Chain A
Amino acid sequence: MHEEIIHTDNTPKEKQNYVMLKLGRTPAYGWPAFKQVAKRAVSGELLVGLWITLKEMVKTLFMGGKHTTMYPFEKMPIAPRYRAIHNMLRLLESGHYRCIGCGLCEKICISNCIAMETRYDENQRKEVSEYTINFGRCIYCGYCAEVCPELAIVHGGRYETASEQRASFSLFDDMLTPIDMLKQQQEFAGFGSVTPNADAAIKKTPLAY
């Protein structure tokens, strides 16, 4: 039954440690089937499962094996690549908002939730006079942040978006870095960036038997 693993181009070239279990064919009828049922019923495989869950319960109750985070009171740190409510960033030097109103985010948005108004301003520049994201429709795919040529729109970490309205809107000023917070403005670390304490945060989960 054991076959050699055939690599395709995009898989790593080194040998992988997969093990094929020799399960054989499940008998469906007759004596072999009866034999298997009898064997499994008597061998106590079912009890193994019971034993494991009981053990886990004891560990959880008395040996501090709990994994629960008490959510509203206690929050997990989120990864830098997390995609929640957007932030509109400012230029660090001048404090002017970065958005140039090119409309690429509006175009690329697959849930069609971004709308913007632009106009010819007094300085002969394109001014974003209003900008909104309909968070009732936004699916937080991150395309807008990815397409933005000015790093003006990025995803922030504000993920608690429950609201009384099904569709809640955010205007430009809601998302824009407050001018007095300019010093604290975080640069977007980029797609695929790793949580700083990623290694430490890894814990063995019940799936790791």
Chain B
Amino acid sequence: MGDMMNDNKITLKIDGKTCQAQEGEYILNVARANGIFIPAICYLTRCSPTLACRICLVEADGKRVYSCNTKAKDGMEVTVSNQEILEERRAIMEVYDVNHPLQCGVCDQSGSCELQNYTLELGVDSQSYTIADTARETANWSSVLHYDPALCIVCERCVTVCKDMMGDNALGTTPRGGSELNKELKDSMPKDAYAMWNKLQKSVIAPSNDTGSTNCSDCGECIAVCPTGALVSRDFEYTSNAWELKRTPATCAHCSSGCQIYYETKPTSISDRSEKIYRVTNEWNYVSLCGAGRFGYDFENRTAVKNEEAFGNAIEAFKAAKAIRFNSVITNEEALMLQTLKEELGVKLINPDAKAFQEFLNSYSAASGKTLWNGDYKEMMKNSDFIISVGSALRHDNPNVRYVFNNIQKMNKGAGLYFHPVGDSLIAGLGKNVACIEHKVNREEAVLYWILDRFANKDKLPAEISEYLASFHTKTAKTISETVMEDVKETVVDDESGESKEVVKKIPKTIQKEIEVDSSALLEAFDAPADFEDLVEKFLAKKESFALVVGEDMYFHPQADNLAKLVALIENTTEFKVSIVPPKTNSLGVALICDLDDDASGYTIGYNEAGDFRLSALGDGDLDMPALNQQEGTLTNMHKKVVPTNAALSYGGYELNDIMNALLLGKRLTIDWTKELPSKKGFQAVEFDSLPNRYTNDGVEHRGYMLESQKTKITVSMPDKMTANDMSGDIAYRCNPQRQFNEFTAKAHQIFEPFALYVSPAKAETLGKKAAFDINGKEFVLDVVIDEKMSGEIVKLPDFKHSSEIYAFFGKNRFKPITLRKV
């Protein structure tokens, strides 16, 4: 793929500047990458062009084109502005300013408003157009979204991003009920401005489901992309001007996607001058956040102080400890400190999520000969047109994987297969070429074998596997009806000449035909629909680049070891780019750095987890620790990158490094550990302060560094045969609701998805309002929350709270039979 791309380099001239570009790139993106400014309002880099604003008008080879949807051609000459285009643009901006409220003083967007900027940029100092205004009422679309249609310029960026990136499809346009334009204007005003105005005057944004509320995942990306103050967060509204906020580039702490974010801080109030995070913003052209990243920012350990007594107790606890229990919401540096403790003090390290992932990765490495997978999400998003997701609750586990899955459907004319025991109507609705296959639990082996069977290069496949795969196939004869065209000869007499002529006519004819049908028992093993093979055939038409995403279900699986081998085999024998999604924020980092143990007994220190002595960044432990928005460090994300995060807020208490220092194992600063990260695992010996954390205009991500995949010895060769591990009765699936990932998101005040049982509407009818179940003799009574996008009988039980009990209950499987009682 990479080689192919290099061949497609083209050269064009924009305003006389010679620019290199990929073939197929839009002129606008080429210009941006080369530092040439073309005004554009409605275009979003990774989404389809909307053509709402028409302001990106340029002249290419003498023709007027829209730079956001015109692909660059070799040798093209582009002129960004001429007199005519400037008049168009100015007219467009004048039209946008018609009836736009002038109270910029009270608008949240003031200062970072694209309408302000372009009005100034294009020198709009007088208004040529008027029209009667329409009364438009503000509305709250959800618990986080506030929409003021008076400020909206209907650029439809929110609609576009919601459809092309998030996949929620929650927004659309609706008639505005505005006055008709004066027809005379059509001749008197610039053409594009008139067309834009005509469209603008007819529509306004509204939730696409006509209920007045979006009923979406509340990711807030529409707020981020809104160029004006029309869409704002209800919590942030009118609390601060953009210019008062200090932006700290950081990395989101909630899932393994590790998105780049900016924490925007300002003093809490006049009486309390300590900094507070007011909102989180992102480089929305290059990275999309989920609701947890955008709204789950106030999880800091605010009240922490240096409690010397507690610190003394902590040192004693560490000296006495037999084990440390922690989770993966920590930095690489902290993981390395814990590993150092293990090496120096001999404590055991217990981390259920990272342990399962580590074992999976180890099995994968043993079979594939390298430590890391070959897939890359950025590349997938750009190039892949066929994606398969196995073993991941795509809507919940990792929002960015879902965005990739969706973006492939929308932007690459792609197709997708989603294999999961729990049905999901949102995923099914991401595109017309998406199929959701609800298989029985623990049938992921069958899916992977099917992928091998269908896509593997048979020459590369080991003989045993080929044989094994062949054993599933049965050939049966089947009679089908087929319509064929039959040539019929007829003699026709010409009326005028009287000559008779022979004419051949085609006449359809139905015939019965006997064909040989190849049916595979594998399809039955994962409950494929009857037309599955045809569907896949249809999906695969003209597809070139394949991606496979493997999720958490695979690591918590009775057959996890075998699944890892299968994944390795798929990677080696098919064209699939494989991605293995780490289950929690820094599971990959912890799995690489720490030498984890199975459960241990004895005196245990819990770090954000249960233990005899608790270190906690949540503020409820025996000794306070800084939360991830209060400390510097690096995280290893699912893009196989080591990315830096920064402290947005001050922290008054002790850090893990202080404890290390007291135990004579520490360094001067926590970030002094960064360059000590194990190079044997692919980390680099670089100083924390030299790690960049930004995007440039060409969309290149300058963040941290890429982990290097290490060569390992291949110790196992063949995957085992499938084993069935069916379950019966009620089945619980360990899965967090959208926007909830851990105790930190649960602490954030704008994230309120409760700790409850999430069930499909059908299942809710049998369960009622509340349900009870026992875990290790402890009774849990949870609300039953209907998840309308779910289907099937399986219930989802979150692990963002009570994680030790939940993990203990589920053990090495994400699915578990559960006895639910109605309450």
Instruction: Write the residues of chain A forming the contact surface with B, with a CB cutoff of 8 angstroms.
Output: 100-104, 106-107, 115-120, 124-127, 130-132, 149-150
Q: Does B239 lie within 8 Å of A118, measured CB to CB?
A: yes
- The 3 closest A-B CB pairs, nearest first, are A102-B105, A126-B106, A126-B238
The smallest beta-carbon distance between A140 and chain B, in angstroms, is: 21
Which partner residue on chain A sits nearest B269 by CB separation?
Answer: A117
Bound Cα distance A115, B241 (Å): 12
| Residues of the A chain whose Cβ atoms lie less than 8 Å from the Cβ of B106 | 100-102, 125-126
Known: A100-B105, A104-B105. A119 touches B110 (CB 8 A): no
**Option from A124, A126, A149 in Cβ contact (under 8 Å) with B138:** A124
Q: Given A117-B269, A130-B269, are A107 and B241 neighbors across the interface (CB < 8 Å)? A: yes
- The reply on B267 being an interface residue by CB < 8 A is yes
- Given A100-B106, A102-B105, A125-B106, A120:B237 Cβ within 8 A: yes
Q: Identify the interface centre among B104, B106, B110, B269: most chain A CB within 10 Å of its CB.
A: B106
15 A-B pairs besides A120-B234, A124-B138, A150-B105 with CB distance below 8 A are: A100-B103, A101-B105, A101-B238, A102-B104, A102-B106, A102-B241, A103-B244, A106-B241, A117-B239, A118-B240, A125-B106, A126-B106, A126-B238, A131-B270, A132-B270
Tell me the B209-252 residues at the A interface (CB within 8 Å).
Answer: 234, 237-241, 243-244
Nearest residue, chain A, Cβ from B232: A120
Alpha-carbon distance A123/B270, docked complex (angstroms): 23
Is the CB–CB distance between A106 and B105 below 8 Å?
no
Judge whether A119 and B238 touch: CB under 8 Å.
yes
Minimum CB distance partner of B111 in chain A: A107
Query: Cβ of B234: which chain A residues have Cβ within 8 Å of it?
Result: 120
- Taking a contact as CB atoms under 8 Å apart, the answer to whether B244 and A119 are in contact is no
Chain B residues with CB under 8 Å of A100's CB are 103, 105-106
A–B complex contacts, Cβ < 8 Å, 5 sampled: A100-B103, A107-B243, A117-B269, A125-B106, A150-B105
Per a CB cutoff under 8 Å, which of A101, A117, A119, A149 touches B270?
A117
CB distance from A112 to the nearest CB of B (A): 11
Give Cα A150–Cα B104 distance, bound, in whole angstroms: 12
Residues of A with C-beta under 8 A to B244: 103, 106-107
Residue of A nearest to B242 (CB): A103
Which residues of B255-271 have CB atoms within 8 Å of chain A's CB atoms? Answer: 267, 269-270
Q: How far is the CA of A124 from the CA of B110 in the complex (A)?
A: 17
Q: Which residue of A lies closest to B234 (CB)?
A: A120
Closest CB-CB distance, B277 to chain A, in whole Å? 16
User: Are B110 and A116 in contact, with the CB atoms below 8 A?
Assistant: no
Structural contact, B239 and A103, CB atoms closer than 8 A: no
Q: Report the minimal beta-carbon distance from A87 to chain B, rounded to whole angstroms.
A: 19
Write out the residue numbers on chain A whose beta carbons fall within 8 Å of the beta carbon of B238: 101, 118-120, 126-127
**B binding-site residues for A, Cβ under 8 Å:** 103-106, 110, 138, 234, 237-241, 243-244, 267, 269-270
Contact indicator B270/A115 (Cβ below 8 Å): yes
Q: How far is the CA of A104 from the CA of B243 in the complex (A)?
A: 10
- Chain A residue at smallest Cβ distance from B102: A149
Alpha-carbon distance between A103 and B238 when the two chains are bound, in angstroms: 11
The interface residues of chain B lying within 8 Å CB-to-CB of A102 are: 104-106, 110, 241
- Please, which residues of chain A bring their CB within 8 A of the CB of B241? 102-103, 106-107
Nearest B residue to A131, CB-CB: B270
Main SS of the interface on chain B? loop
- A11 nearest CB across to chain B (Å): 32
Residue of A nearest to B267 (CB): A115
Name the residue of chain A whose CB is nearest to the CB of B243. Answer: A107
CB distance from A102 to the nearest CB of B (A): 3
Which residues on A sit within 8 Å (CB–CB) of B237?
Answer: 120
Question: A102–B102 Cα gap in the complex (Å)?
Answer: 12
C-alpha spacing A130/B243, complex, angstroms: 19
The distance in angstroms between the C-alpha atoms of A157 and B234, with both chains bound, is 41
Whole-angstrom distance between the alpha carbons of A32 and B668 in the complex? 76
**Closest A residue, CB atoms, query B271:** A130
Query: Would B240 and A149 count as touching, CB distance under 8 A?
Result: no
Nearest CB in chain A: distance from B691 CB, A: 32
| Beta-carbon contact of A116 and B239 below 8 Å | no
Chain B residues contacting A149 (CB-CB under 8 Å) are 105
* A116-B270 contact given A103-B244, A106-B244, CB 8 Å threshold: yes
* CB proximity of A133 to chain B, nearest CB, Å: 11
Contacts of A103 in B (CB 8 A): 105, 241, 243-244
From residue A127, how far is it (CB to closest CB) to chain B in Å?
8
Closest beta carbon of chain A to B280's beta carbon, Å: 19
A131 to B138, CA, bound (A): 27
Q: Tell me, rounded to whole Å, the shortest Cβ–Cβ distance linking A136 to chain B.
A: 14
What's the least CB distance linking B605 to chain A, in Å? 41
Q: Are B239 and A119 in contact, CB atoms less than 8 angstroms apart?
A: yes
Give the chain A neighbours of B267 by CB distance below 8 A: 115
For the complex, what is the distance from the CA of A39 to the CA of B549, rounded to whole Å? 105
Expressed in whole angstroms, the minimum distance between the Cβ of A34 and any Cβ of chain B is: 70
A127-B238 Cα distance, complex, nearest whole Å:
8
Residues of chain B with a CB closer than 8 A to A106's CB: 241, 244
B267 to chain A, nearest CB (A): 7
* Least CB distance, A129 to chain B, in whole angstroms: 9
Residue among B234, B237, B240, B241 with most chain A CB within 10 A: B241
Q: How far is the CA of A119 from the CA of B103 in the complex (A)?
A: 16
A4 shortest CB reach to chain B, Å: 43
Residues of B within 8 A of A126 (CB): 106, 238
Cα A131 to Cα B271 with chains together (Å): 11
**CA–CA, A69 to B1, complex, Å?**
89
A130 to chain B, nearest CB (A): 5
Smallest beta-carbon distance B513→chain A, Å: 71
Task: Determine the distance from Cα of A127 to Cα of B239 in the docked complex, in whole angstroms.
Answer: 9
CA distance A120 to B244 in the complex (A): 17
**In the bound complex, what is the Cα–Cα distance between A131 and B269 (angstroms)?**
10
Contacts of B240 in A (CB 8 A): 118
Q: Which residues of B contact A120 (CB under 8 A)?
A: 234, 237-239
Residues of the B chain whose Cβ atoms lie less than 8 Å from the Cβ of A101: 105-106, 238
CA distance A131 to B270 in the complex (A): 8
Give the docked Cα–Cα distance between A156 and B619 (Å): 48
Residues of the B chain whose Cβ atoms lie less than 8 Å from the Cβ of A125: 106
Bound Cα distance A192, B647 (Å): 48
What A residues does B110 contact at CB under 8 A?
102
* CA distance in complex: A149, B107 (Å): 14
Chain B positions within 8 Å of A104 at CB level: 105
Contact A130 B270 (CB under 8 A): yes
Question: For the complex, what is the distance from the CA of A116 to the CA of B241, rounded to whole Å?
Answer: 11
Instruction: Determine the distance from Cα of A107 to Cα of B241 in the docked complex, in whole angstroms.
Output: 9
Docked Cα-Cα span, A65 to B237, in Å, equals 64
Question: Nearest B residue to A107 by beta-carbon distance?
Answer: B243
Measured CA separation A181–B127 after assembly (Å): 41
Residues of B within 8 A of A130 (CB): 269-270
Instruction: Give Cα distance in the complex from A100 to B105, angstroms.
Output: 7
A98 to chain B, nearest CB (A): 11
Least distance between A39 CB and chain B CB atoms (Å): 68
Chain B residue nearest in CB terms to A118 = B238
The minimal Cβ–Cβ distance linking A43 to chain B, given in whole angstroms, is 68
CA distance A117 to B240 in the complex (A): 8
Least Cβ–Cβ distance between A125 and chain B, in angstroms: 7
Cβ–Cβ < 8 Å partners of A150 in chain B? 105
Please, which residue of chain B has its CB at the minimum distance from the CB of A116?
B270
- Residues from chain A with a CB closer than 8 A to the CB of B243 are 103, 107
Expressed in whole angstroms, the minimum distance between the Cβ of A27 and any Cβ of chain B is 63
A103 to B240, CA, bound (A): 8
Expressed in whole angstroms, the Cα–Cα distance for A119 and B238 within the complex equals 5
Q: Tell me the complex Cα distance, A117–B278, Å.
A: 12
A14, B237: Cα distance in complex, Å? 58
Query: CA separation between A160 and B244, bound complex, in Å?
Result: 31
- Residue ID in chain B nearest A127 by CB atoms: B238
B270: chain A residues at CB < 8 Å are 115-117, 130-132
The residue of chain A having its C-beta at the shortest distance from the C-beta of B110 within the complex is A102
Measured CA separation A127–B103 after assembly (Å): 14
How many whole Å from A22's CB to the nearest CB in chain B? 56
Among A106, A124, A127, the most chain B Cβ lie within 10 Å of the Cβ of A124
Give the distance in Å from the alpha carbon of A117 to the alpha carbon of B241 in the complex.
10
Q: Nearest Cβ distance between residue A107 and chain B, in whole angstroms?
A: 6
